[in-house]
Structure 1
Amino acid sequence: MPWWSWILIWVALVSLSLLFFVVMGVRLFRQFMATVKELGEAGEKLTRLPVPAAVPAGVHAAADPELPGIAPGMAPFASPHQMRHDYHAAKEARREARRQHRIRRKAERGQPQSLRDIEFR
């Protein structure tokens, strides 16, 4: 094999590898630009979303009118103190409803009541 064939082989290998890197670079750039475009569109959509007004303290729009709370889906806009209060109030209401159901069920069956179900309050 003549000496100049080695030069041709190496020139072809280097040029093919450079061509590969250029094609991969262009592809990566296009993907990056598509991502930036989608992020821009998402940012525009978020800026156009209506921000719900905070629910006044006296108005409760919860699903159950007798339980305090705010409208469903408004938790991120409420104060942590209000959400903590609403959580504990709802938890206590559920606990009391279970206790009343347990008392009613035992009374219907004629079973003795548990000491924990008797109201000492």
Structure 2
Amino acid sequence: MPWWFWVLLWIALIALSLLLHVTLGYRLFRNFMATVQELGAAGERFSNISPTPETSDVEAVSERPAPGSAIFASPGQMRHDYLTAKAFRQEVRRQKRVQRKAERGQPQSLHDIEFR
């Protein structure tokens, strides 16, 4: 094969390689710009959400103590508050579990049935 064929072959291979890289770069740029636009739209959409979470009636009644007040509270009071909050969280989980099983038509656990 003559020498000029190899020159043409390498020029064609380099040109195709550059074309491939330019095409991939363009696609990457378009995907990046689409991601940035979606991120901006999500930021606008979620910026309207209020920073305070919605509370249920039970949580609204039980007010939380001020931050830092545990330092000056008695250990007995803190233990009482902890056990009360723990029992409340367990009860909420139990109610959700009973409701979920009732919606699915599953049998209830004997531990979840109220005997009060």
Query: If the length of structure 2 is used for normalisation, what is the TM-score?
Result: 0.52
User: Cα deviation per residue 1:1-53 (whole Å; 9 max; x = unaligned)?
Assistant: 1110000000000000000000000000000000000000000001122x166
Quote the Cα distance in structure 2 between the aligned partners of 1:18 and 1:11: 10
- State the Cα RMSD in Å: 3.9
Distance 1:70 1:22, change over 3 A: same
Taking the TM superposition and a 5 Å limit, the aligned residue runs for 1:59-74 are: 61-62=56-57, 68-70=58-60
Write the letter of the residue equivalent to 1:90. F
Partner of 1:14: 14
Helix, strand or coil at the partner of 1:69: helix
CA contact (8 A) 1:61 1:69 kept: yes
Query: If the length of structure 1 is used for normalisation, what is the TM-score?
Result: 0.50
Identity %: 42
- Computing the radius of gyration from Cα coordinates, the structure with the larger value is 1
Quote the Cα distance in structure 2 between the aligned partners of 1:10 and 1:80: 76
2:37 is the alignment partner of 1:37: yes
Report how many aligned residue pairs link the two structures: 81
Quote the Cα distance in structure 2 between the aligned partners of 1:33 and 1:24: 14
Task: For residue 93 of structure 1, report the CA deviation from its aligned partner.
Answer: 6.7
Task: For residue 69 of structure 1, report the CA deviation from its aligned partner.
Answer: 2.0
Runs of 4+ in 1 over 6 A off after TM superposition: none
Quote the Cα distance in structure 2 between the aligned partners of 1:79 and 1:13: 71
CA contact (8 A) 1:69 1:86 kept: no
Q: Which has the higher contact order (CA 8 A, sep 6+)?
A: 1
